[in-house]
Amino acid sequence: MVLTKFVEVGRVVKINYGPQEGRLATIVEILNDKRVLIDGPTTGVQRQVIPIRRLTLTKFNLKGATRGARTGVITKAIKKSDPFAQYAQTLAAKKVAKKALRAKLNDFDRFRVMILRKRRSALLSTQLKTLKKSTGGKAQTQAKGGNKKK
Amino acid sequence: MPAKKRTVRIGNWYKSDDEKVHFIRKRKAPRPSKLRKIVPGQVLILLSGRFQGKRVVFLKQLKSGLLLVTGPFKINGVPLKRVNSAYVIPTSTKVDVTGVNATQIDDDYFKRTQAQRRKNEQGFWAKRGELTAEQQATEKTRLEGKRNTQKSVDAALITAIKKTQLLKQYLGARFTIGKTTRPHELVF
């Protein structure tokens, strides 16, 4: 297996331990085999030294980040090409966002979600039935999305 | 200067038997409990009693401190009812109660009448409903009156509830906890 994600200047990382857990930042400088300097001016991460052990590498890179670049330079580079927005499109990021949204639901919202899921599954089952009928029982089940909410 | 000695007053005599003094309530009148941020129109979840888990609409706090609450009756079978705020979970859902007139209802509305007390005092095995004809007639009119008050209070509420989608069904459903629900993590 070829290694694709490297600890390098400009690598977008996710902090997965500590008070900043869950936030993104970029690697600005590599100090030794265990620590790096990261900075995330747009994501609320203060410029800091952090052990690599506390990070997960993402597949994105910040273009224009040079070794030891100051926060201002990093911010400019982010303005030009925002890797954090790209990261937000990934499935992993979306799952995290969905989980956060679900945690915020209040009692009425939870009830509404339950009703909508029931309706969707009812729609799906009727679709499935018609598909099965039309292809004589050997249906390739392609679930048709109903009212997807949250 | 010598320090003032703390002396304990001993009475003139000691009581011969250990008298048991029953708990004497120091405060005669009930003090209305402080409402913990419950607003008229808010949906509450009842936690105890016959209507456990039912979602009801809060109308106002009565003088005794209890909360006046209604189903509405047509939606979930909960009548105008007094409820202790300790046995209630307030949700963040609110219904518009500007058209609802519950000013007539107070603690006296829920007071048991003579006829009711007589019914109750017969005991479990006695034949219920041993009321005179006159008492039965007054009971009938009293219940009619109650039904009418319920209807008049609920009418404005139900029109307000119908405006939000699925709110009627929400109020008709009971709140339950399943295997995977974590009540301490739920946001109400």
Q: Going residue by residue through chain B, which has 188 residues, state the pLDDT in tens, using 9 for 90 and above.
A: 555 666 666 667 776 776 777 777 666 666 666 667 788 999 999 999 999 999 999 999 888 888 999 989 999 999 999 999 889 999 999 999 988 888 888 888 998 877 777 666 665 655 555 667 777 788 888 889 999 999 999 999 999 999 999 999 999 999 999 898 898 999 88
Q: What is the pLDDT of residue B32?
A: 62
Mean pLDDT of chain A: 89
Q: Where residue A134 falls among pLDDT bands split at 50, 70, 90?
A: confident
Mean pLDDT of A128-140: 76
Mean pLDDT of A58-80: 93
Q: What is the pLDDT of residue A145?
A: 45
DSSP summary character for residue A15: E
Q: Which of residues 106-135 of B touch A (CB under 8 A)?
A: none
Q: What is the pLDDT of residue A146?
A: 40
Q: What is the pLDDT of residue B8?
A: 65
Q: Which of A99, A108, A112, A147 to mutate to test the interface with B (most CBs of B within 10 A)?
A: A108
Mean pLDDT of A112-131: 94
Sequential DSSP letters for B10-78:
--SS--SS---PPP--S--SPPPPPP-S--TTEEEEE-SSTTTTBEEEEEEE-TTSPEEEE--HHHHS-
> B91: which chain A residues are within 8 Å (Cβ-Cβ)?
106-108
Instruction: Please say whether the beta carbons of A80 and A65 come within 8 A.
Output: no
Q: What is the pLDDT of residue B142?
A: 87
Instruction: Please say whether the beta carbons of B62 and B107 come within 8 A.
Output: yes
Angle B25-B30-B34 from CA coordinates, rounded to 5°: 120
Q: What is the pLDDT of residue B103?
A: 86
Distance from CA of A60 to the nearest CA of B (A): 34
> A113: which chain B residues are within 8 Å (Cβ-Cβ)?
none
Q: Which of B42, B44, B93, B174 to mutate to test the interface with A (most CBs of A within 10 A)?
A: B93
Whole-angstrom Cα distance, residue A75 to residue A82?
A: 10
Q: Where residue A9 falls among pLDDT bands split at 50, 70, 90?
A: very high
Cβ B93–A106 below 8 Å, yes or no? yes
More confident residue, A51 or B6: A51
Distance from CA of B175 to the nearest CA of A (A): 9
Instruction: Please say whether the beta carbons of A35 and A52 come within 8 A.
Output: yes
B177: contact with A, CB 8 A cutoff: no
Q: What is the pLDDT of residue A95?
A: 94
Q: What is the pLDDT of residue A135?
A: 80
Instruction: For the beta carbon of residue A75, count every other beta carbon within 10 angstroms.
Output: 13
> A107: which chain B residues are within 8 Å (Cβ-Cβ)?
43, 45, 55, 91-93, 175, 186-188
A3: contact with B, CB 8 A cutoff: no
Mean pLDDT of A27-56: 95
Cα distances (Å, whole numbers) of residue B5 to A135, B2, B9, B11, B12 = 102, 8, 12, 18, 21
Residues 6+ apart with CB under 8 A from A56: A13, A14, A16
Task: For helices B133-162 and B114-121, give the axis angle rounded to 10 degrees.
Answer: 110
Q: Is this complex's ipTM strictly greater than 0.95?
A: no
Interval B93-115: pLDDT, tens = 999 998 888 888 888 899 887 77
Q: What is the pLDDT of residue A147?
A: 43
| pTM flag (> 0.80) | no
Distance from CA of A110 to the nearest CA of B (A): 10
Percent of chain A with pLDDT over 90: 81
